[in-house]
Amino acid sequence: MHVMRSLKLFALVLSLGIATQSFVIGDDKDIYLDARMEVVKNKKNATYICKMEEASDQGYLFRAYYITGEVKMAGTYVDEEMETPHGEFTYYYQSGQIESNGQFREGQKYGIWQRFDEDGTEKPEKVYAALPMLKAIAQEKKNREK
């Protein structure tokens, strides 16, 4: 009886390993990202594999995965090339615990971002200024320099 359970458990673990392995290999639509979440051409230089999950009027939903298969990031981009993040984003530790979540607007972090330690303990929030405000500050600084 124990032998049969052990064999079933072994078969399940083996099948999960094969499924994970096939994920790691990737396909032609995979986007490879380095440790800074920037696109790299070579799979050997990748820390994460990113896949477009859904396209809608709101943009393109992407999920990035650790090479081992766990979710690293989920968020929406304006474009298929992943150049302009815009909307809700959530980042995860490899354990599955949320690392941070918040909004992007026009490619910049915006508003209040919640942050957490690997054990789930809340860290101080970070507040990011709106892009128009940053542009106005930069313009004011240029005006003062003249």
Per-residue pLDDT for the chain (146 aa), expressed as one digit of tens each? Answer: 444 444 444 444 444 443 333 344 455 689 999 999 998 988 899 999 999 999 999 899 999 999 999 999 999 999 999 999 999 999 999 999 999 999 999 899 999 999 999 999 999 999 998 666 667 777 888 888 87
Task: Give one word for 60, left, alpha or beta, with left for phi > 0 and alpha for psi -120 to 50.
Answer: beta
* Tokens coding 8: 């079933």
Confidence (pTM): 0.70
Burial of 89-98, coded b for 16+ CB within 10 Å and e otherwise, reads bbbbbeeeee
Rounded CA gap, 102 and 112, in Å?
6
Query: Which residues, at least 6 apart from 59, have a Cβ–Cβ distance to it below 8 Å?
Result: 76, 77, 78, 79, 86, 87
